[in-house]
Amino acid sequence: MKACWDWTAKHIRWILGEGKLINFWTDRWINFYTIVEILELPQSRMPSLSAKVVDFIYDGNRCFPMVTSTIIQGIINEAALIKPIMGMQDKPIWTLEPSGKFSVSSA
């Protein structure tokens, strides 16, 4: 069952609304990889990574901490290009279907 979920999760991407539903670290909302995958963080760190995207939004704008890592700064730069849509709920999309809607035939 876990292998099936791992495959399925790789094909779900998020459209950013307010950022309340999207895990900053473990969901695909910037591109087709999670931040955990980009940084190659170990699975043992996953339970402690619970921040939502909304935790980095203040007054409708992104608020990221200053970092020295060029890799993390690159991620922040990509994230800064994605503007939250306040008042809209985050929306998962199925990347294997042009409509973004999951279907059994596309899986």
Segments making up each domain of the chain, as ranges: 13-91
For the chain (107 residues), the mean pLDDT of every run of 10, in chain order, is: 68 91 94 90 84 89 87 91 88 82 60
pTM, whole model, 2 decimals?
Answer: 0.79
Distance CA 27, CA 81 (A): 17
Partners of 57 in the beta sheet? Answer: 62
Q: 84 is written with which tokens? A: 């939250």
Distance CA 9, CA 57 (A): 25
> Can you give the pLDDT at residue 52?
95
Find out whether 39 and 107 touch, Cβ atoms under 8 Å.
no
